[in-house]
Chains A and B, each alone.
Chain A
Amino acid sequence: MSAQIAVLALAHLVVLLTLPFVVVGVIQRTKALWAGRKSPPLFQLAFDAARLLRKRPVYSEVTTYLFRVGPYVVLVTAVVSGMIVPILGARAALGFPFDFVWFAYVWGLGRVALMLGALDTGSAFEGMGASREATFSAILEPALFLVGGAACLITHERSFDAVLALRATTVTGGAGAGVWAGSVVALFILVQVESARLPVDDPTTHLELTMVHEVMILDHSGPELAALQVGSAIKLTVGLSLVAAFLNPLTGRAGPPLAAAANVALCLLLAVAIGTVESLVARWRMRAVPQYIVVALIAAGVALLATTWQIGGAG
C-alpha cells in the first residue's frame, strides 16, 4: 500500500515538473497559430530556464536578502502546493482533509514572497504591480473557498477528493449541474487571474503601467528569473489541471492510467483555450478586473447555493 502511494507520488511529481513546460509551449503555439506566426519550439521555456541558470544575476543596490530568496519561495510553494492537487485525475497521493485550505494559504505565501521582492527594489513600477496583485488576490480569495465548500457539502468529502467524487457520482438534476458549472467558471477565472493571463494581465507586454505580475519581476535576472518563470508555469498548470479534473469524463469510470492520461490531455486542451482567449481578447482596463473577479465570486456563489437545492431535494 505504501509502495503504491510512493509510486503515485513520484508519478505526480514527475508530471508536476514536466507538464508546465509543455503547457506553456502549447499556449505559445496556439497564439502563434492564431497570429499566423511561426511558433517557438514546444520546450522554449525549458531552454530559457537552462540559459538563465547559467547566467550571473544582477541585484539592485537597494535590495536585500528577501529579493534574493523570494523567487525560490515562489517556486517551492508552487511545487509543494501542487503535490496535493489531483492533477492525475485520481486522488492525489498526499491529500488530507481540507487540503484546499492549506493549498490556498501556501499560494498566499508565494504571493507574499513575490510582493516583498517587488517592494524590495524601491521601484514605483514594482510597487504598483504588488499593490494590484494584493488587491486582486484579496477579493479573489473567497472564490476557491466557496467552490471547495460547495463541492464538500454536496459530496460529503473533505478535500480535493470532492472534485473527483463530484465527477464520479452522477449528480442528478439541474442542481448538480449548477454546482459543476459554477465551479468550472469560477476556477477558470481564478486561474486566469492567479497566473496573470489575458484578459486580466498581459504576460508579454512591456508597458509597465498596465501590468500586474510581470512588472513585479522586472529586476529579477539569471537563476531567480528562471525560478519565477518555472514557478508561475507550475501554478498555471496546477490550476488548469484542477479545472481539468472537474471536466474529466473518465474519473471513476476508467482505470487510473487512463483517467490520468485524459486529465493531462484535458489540461493541454485548456491551455489551447487559454491561448485562444489571449489571441482574441485584448487586455482589459484595470478598473474592469475587479468586476471580472466578481463574476468568479458570483459563479462560486451559484455553485454553493445549488448545494442547498440538491441536499434539500434529496432530504
Chain B
Amino acid sequence: MILLLVSGASLVLGAILALALRGNVARATAALASQAVASAATLAAVVPLLRAGGGELVESWRWPYPIERIAVRVDALSAFFLAWSLPMTLLGTVYAVGYLRPYFDRGRNGGPHFALLNMTSLAFLVVYSVQNAMVFLLGWEIAAVAAWLLVIWDYRNQKIRFAGFNYLVSTHLGLFVLVAAFMLLHAQTDSMDFQTFRRVLEKPSRMRAAVFLLLGASFALKSAFFPLHTWLPRAHSAAPAHVSALMSGVIHKAGLFAFLRFTLLLGRPEAWMGWCVLGFGALSAFFGVLYTSSQRDLKRLLGYSSTENVGIAAMGFGVGYLGMAWHAPSLVVLGFAGGILHLFNHALFKCLLFYAAGAVYRATHTIDIERLGGLLRKMPRTAAMFLIGGLAISALPPLNGFVGEYLIYSGLLSGAGASPTENVVLVVIAALLAFVGAVSALSIVRAFGVTFLGAPRDASVHAAVDPPPSMLWPMYLHAAGVVIVGLFPSLGVAATRGATSLFRIADPSVAQLDVAAVLAPVTWAARVLAATLVVVGGLGWLAGRGARRHVTWGCGYTAPNVRMQYTASSFSSPFALLFVGFLPQLRRAKLPEQVFPQQNGHLATHHVDAVERRMFEVLGQGEEMATKASDKISEEPRVAFAAGLVAIVIIFGLLVGVGR
C-alpha cells in the first residue's frame, strides 16, 4: 500500500513541477520522471497480486464528512488494470514529447499538458483502487476533465473546441446517470461503500434491475458503446495523437473496469442482464465496424474501431453473465477471460495504431487518407508498425487480436446454453462476430492500402520522413507486445488469470476450465503458421532478387497518373452500398456537362454518423418546440413558470418518498 501512496505522491509532485518549472525540457523531464517512478512503484505493488489467489491490499482511512471513510482495496482486477494503465500512459507521455515538438519550438508552454497526463495516471490510481462512491466519482471526474483539457490542446481551432465541448457534455450526461445510480444505492444502504452496496445488489429485485441499467448506461457511455458513441469519433480526430491513443486504449477502459467491479458485487446475475450485455456488445461491434468501413479521416476511423472493440469485449462479458445465470462454469471462464484479454489486447494495438496515425499527421499535416498514398517507402518504420497493429485489430493469427476473440468464440459456439433456441442465438452472434472481423479486415486493408501503398495522390502533400525516436519507441514497445501476446498467449493469460479467477461460480464440485489449456492448440497453430510464413516468405524473397522493375501494368492504357488510383471511397463503395440504410452518405457533385465539358466537374462523398445526425435532428426539433412554447408565455410569468416547474418536481419527489 505504501508503494501506491508513493506512486500517487510522485504523480502529484510531477504535476506541480511540470506547472512550476521553466522550459519545456524541464517540464517534460519532471512528468516523465514522476510517471516512471509511479509506474515502477505501482508495478512493484500490484504484480504479486496478479496471480490467482494472490491476495489483495486493503486499507481504510477515516475522513471528514461527507466521505467518512475511504476504503481502498486493490484486488486482482484492480491490479490487472493498474499494471498496464500507468506504463502505457508513460509511453504516451514519451510520445507526446516528440509529437508536440513543433509546438514547443514555437514557444508553446507544455507544462499544463504534462501535468494533465500525470493527473490522468493519478485518476487511474484512484478509480481502480477506491471502494468509496464519492472518491470514485472524484477520480472519475479528474479523468474526464483531464481528458477534455488534453483533447483541446489546439484550442484555437473552433472545430477542436466543439469536439472537446461535445465530449465534455456527453461524459457529464454519463456522470448524471452514474450519480443517480449511486444515490439509489445510498438511499438503500445509507453508505457510500461499495461492499455495503453488495447488500442491495446481491438479491434480485426491481431496484437491482434499475441500478444495473443505470450503471450499465453510464459505463457504456464512458466506453463509447453504440448508440452512446457520438462524442468519440469527434474527440479522437480532434485530439493530439497520443491523447487519442490514451483515451481509446487506456482511459475509456475505466468504463469496462467499473462494469466488472460492479459485476463482482452483483452476486448471481439474471439471464436478461447477460442478454442485455451481449446484445449491446454485439450492436456496438456491428455498428462500430460498419462506420470504420467508410471514414476518410484516419483517426476518426480508429475511433469507431474503439466502439467495435469494446463491443467485442462486452460480448465476452455477456457470455460470462449468461454462464453465471445458467450455472455453466465453462461459459463464465471463457467469457470473462476472453473479454478481459481482448480489452488488454485492444489497449496494445489501438495505441500502436493511433501513434502510427499521429506519425503520419506529423509528417504530412493531414490524416485525410484520400490525399495520402505511397507513404510506405518514405516512412517504412511507421508503415510496418501500422501494419502490425492493423493485422492484430482484424484478429488475424498469429497476432494477439485473435487470441481473445478465439476465447469468446469458444464460449459462443460451445452449445452450453440452457435451451436449443438460446444456443442458436449464440451461434448467430458468433456469426455476427465473424462478420465484424471480416469488415474490420476490409477497413484496415483500405486504410493501410490507401495511406501507405501505391503512389502519393496529392502533390501538395509534401515528402515525409519517419518520426523521431521518442515517437518510434512507444510504437516498437506496443508492437512487441502485440507479437509476444500473439505467439505466447500464455503470458497474456497469466496477466489476466487473477482478474479472471474472481469471476467464478463458487462451487468446488465443478471442475474449473483452464484457459491456458484451451488456448494451447491455437498457440501451437499460430507458431507453426508464423514459422512457415517466415521460412517460405524468406525463400520467396530470395527468389525475387534478380527481378526487373517496370511500370504497373495499365491494361493497355499507357498514360495513367496517380489520380487514377483507386480511392478509399471507391474501395468501400460496394460495401457501403449494401448497408446504405445504416451508412447515410452525403454527396456533393457537379458533374461535367455536355459531350465536350467546358468546366471541370467534382464529386465529394462523405459518410456521416446516422445516430449523431438523428440526435441533432431530435434536439433541434425539441429546442424549436421549447422556444415556441416559451414564446407564448410573456416575459414576467416565464420565471414564475420555471419556478412552478421546479416546485412540481419537488412535490412529486416528496410524494413518492412519503408513499414509500
**Which residues of A come within 8 Å of B, CB atoms?**
53, 56-66, 68-69, 71-73, 75-77, 79-80, 84, 94, 96-99, 101-102, 104-106, 108-109, 111-112, 115-116, 119-128, 130-132, 134-135, 137-146, 148-150, 152-153, 156, 158, 208, 218-219, 222-224, 227, 286, 290, 300, 304-305, 307-308, 311-312, 315
The reply to whether A105 and B544 form a contact with Cβ atoms under 8 Å apart is no
Question: In the assembly, what is the distance between CA of A158 and CA of B334, in Å?
Answer: 15
The reply to whether A122 and B374 form a contact with Cβ atoms under 8 Å apart is yes
Question: In the assembly, what is the distance between CA of A219 and CA of B555, in Å?
Answer: 10
Other A-B contacts than A124-B560, A134-B445, 18 sampled, CB-CB below 8 A, are: A62-B454, A101-B409, A105-B395, A108-B437, A112-B441, A112-B445, A123-B555, A130-B566, A139-B578, A141-B438, A142-B434, A153-B423, A156-B415, A218-B555, A222-B543, A223-B543, A290-B578, A315-B420
The reply to whether A60 and B448 form a contact with Cβ atoms under 8 Å apart is no
Question: In the assembly, what is the distance between CA of A227 and CA of B536, in Å?
Answer: 10
**Complex contacts, B574 vs chain A, CB 8 Å:** 131-132, 135, 286
Question: In the assembly, what is the distance between CA of A288 and CA of B605, in Å?
Answer: 25
A130 CB, min distance to chain B CBs, angstroms: 7
Question: In the assembly, what is the distance between CA of A218 and CA of B556, in Å?
Answer: 12
Please list the 9 inter-chain residue pairs (A to B) with the smallest Cβ-Cβ separation, ordered nearest first: A127-B566, A149-B427, A119-B449, A96-B521, A122-B454, A142-B431, A141-B438, A72-B540, A134-B442
The reply to whether B533 and A76 form a contact with Cβ atoms under 8 Å apart is yes
| B residues 359-402 touching A (CB-CB < 8 Å) | 373-374, 376-377, 387, 391, 394-397, 402
Sample (25) of A-B pairs whose CB atoms are under 8 Å apart: A56-B546, A56-B548, A57-B544, A59-B544, A65-B541, A72-B537, A76-B536, A84-B525, A101-B413, A104-B434, A112-B445, A115-B449, A116-B448, A121-B552, A124-B560, A127-B454, A128-B570, A134-B575, A137-B442, A141-B435, A149-B430, A153-B420, A222-B543, A222-B547, A304-B424
| Cβ contact of A145, chosen from B427, B525, B533, B549, cutoff 8 A | B427
Known contacts: A135-B574, A304-B427. The answer to whether A124 contacts B409 by CB under 8 A is no
B618 within 8 A of partner (CB):
no
The reply to whether B540 and A227 form a contact with Cβ atoms under 8 Å apart is yes
Question: In the assembly, what is the distance between CA of A218 and CA of B529, in Å?
Answer: 27
The reply to whether B541 and A142 form a contact with Cβ atoms under 8 Å apart is no
Question: In the assembly, what is the distance between CA of A135 and CA of B542, in Å?
Answer: 33
**Complex contacts, A142 vs chain B, CB 8 Å:** 431-432, 434-435
**Complex contacts, A71 vs chain B, CB 8 Å:** 540
B553 within 8 A of partner (CB):
yes
B5 CB, min distance to chain A CBs, angstroms: 45
> Main SS of the interface on chain A?
helix
The reply to whether A122 and B521 form a contact with Cβ atoms under 8 Å apart is no
**Complex contacts, B391 vs chain A, CB 8 Å:** 109, 112
| B residues 532-577 touching A (CB-CB < 8 Å) | 532-533, 536-537, 539-541, 543-544, 546-555, 560, 562, 564-566, 570-575
The reply to whether A305 and B424 form a contact with Cβ atoms under 8 Å apart is yes
Per-residue CB contact flags for chain B residues 422-453 toward chain A (1 = under 8 Å, else 0) read: 01100110111111011101101110111001
The reply to whether A72 and B578 form a contact with Cβ atoms under 8 Å apart is no
Q: B373's closest neighbor in chain A, by CB? A: A122
Q: Which of A75, A102, A300, A311 neighbours the largest number of chain B CB atoms within 10 Å of its CB? A: A102
B278 CB, min distance to chain A CBs, angstroms: 15
**Complex contacts, A58 vs chain B, CB 8 Å:** 547-550
| Cβ contact of B544, chosen from A60, A121, A134, A223, cutoff 8 A | A223
Question: In the assembly, what is the distance between CA of A224 and CA of B387, in Å?
Answer: 21
Question: In the assembly, what is the distance between CA of A123 and CA of B571, in Å?
Answer: 12
The reply to whether B518 and A308 form a contact with Cβ atoms under 8 Å apart is no
Question: In the assembly, what is the distance between CA of A97 and CA of B525, in Å?
Answer: 12
Question: In the assembly, what is the distance between CA of A130 and CA of B573, in Å?
Answer: 12
Q: B539's closest neighbor in chain A, by CB? A: A72
Interface band, chain B: 35 or more
Known contacts: A131-B574, A150-B427. The answer to whether A123 contacts B420 by CB under 8 A is no
The reply to whether B533 and A62 form a contact with Cβ atoms under 8 Å apart is no
The reply to whether B397 and A137 form a contact with Cβ atoms under 8 Å apart is no
Question: In the assembly, what is the distance between CA of A145 and CA of B528, in Å?
Answer: 24
Q: A218's closest neighbor in chain B, by CB? A: B553
The reply to whether A76 and B537 form a contact with Cβ atoms under 8 Å apart is yes
Question: In the assembly, what is the distance between CA of A121 and CA of B544, in Å?
Answer: 16
B455 within 8 A of partner (CB):
yes
The reply to whether B421 and A308 form a contact with Cβ atoms under 8 Å apart is yes
The reply to whether B552 and A61 form a contact with Cβ atoms under 8 Å apart is yes
Question: In the assembly, what is the distance between CA of A106 and CA of B376, in Å?
Answer: 25
Question: In the assembly, what is the distance between CA of A96 and CA of B524, in Å?
Answer: 11
Q: A77's closest neighbor in chain B, by CB? A: B529
The reply to whether B413 and A149 form a contact with Cβ atoms under 8 Å apart is yes
Question: In the assembly, what is the distance between CA of A137 and CA of B549, in Å?
Answer: 32
Q: A81's closest neighbor in chain B, by CB? A: B529
B522 within 8 A of partner (CB):
yes
**Complex contacts, A132 vs chain B, CB 8 Å:** 574
Q: A209's closest neighbor in chain B, by CB? A: B555
The reply to whether A105 and B396 form a contact with Cβ atoms under 8 Å apart is yes
The reply to whether B396 and A109 form a contact with Cβ atoms under 8 Å apart is yes
**Complex contacts, A119 vs chain B, CB 8 Å:** 445, 449-450, 453-454, 566
Question: In the assembly, what is the distance between CA of A97 and CA of B524, in Å?
Answer: 13
Question: In the assembly, what is the distance between CA of A131 and CA of B442, in Å?
Answer: 8
**Complex contacts, A101 vs chain B, CB 8 Å:** 406, 409-410, 413
**Complex contacts, A290 vs chain B, CB 8 Å:** 578
A54 CB, min distance to chain B CBs, angstroms: 10
| Cβ contact of B453, chosen from A61, A66, A84, cutoff 8 A | A66
B195 within 8 A of partner (CB):
no
Known contacts: A98-B413, A101-B409, A131-B572. The answer to whether A59 contacts B566 by CB under 8 A is no
B414 within 8 A of partner (CB):
yes
Question: In the assembly, what is the distance between CA of A87 and CA of B421, in Å?
Answer: 32
Question: In the assembly, what is the distance between CA of A308 and CA of B427, in Å?
Answer: 12
The reply to whether A73 and B441 form a contact with Cβ atoms under 8 Å apart is no
**Complex contacts, A208 vs chain B, CB 8 Å:** 555
| Cβ contact of A102, chosen from B522, B537, B546, B548, cutoff 8 A | B522
**Complex contacts, B528 vs chain A, CB 8 Å:** 80
Question: In the assembly, what is the distance between CA of A80 and CA of B540, in Å?
Answer: 17
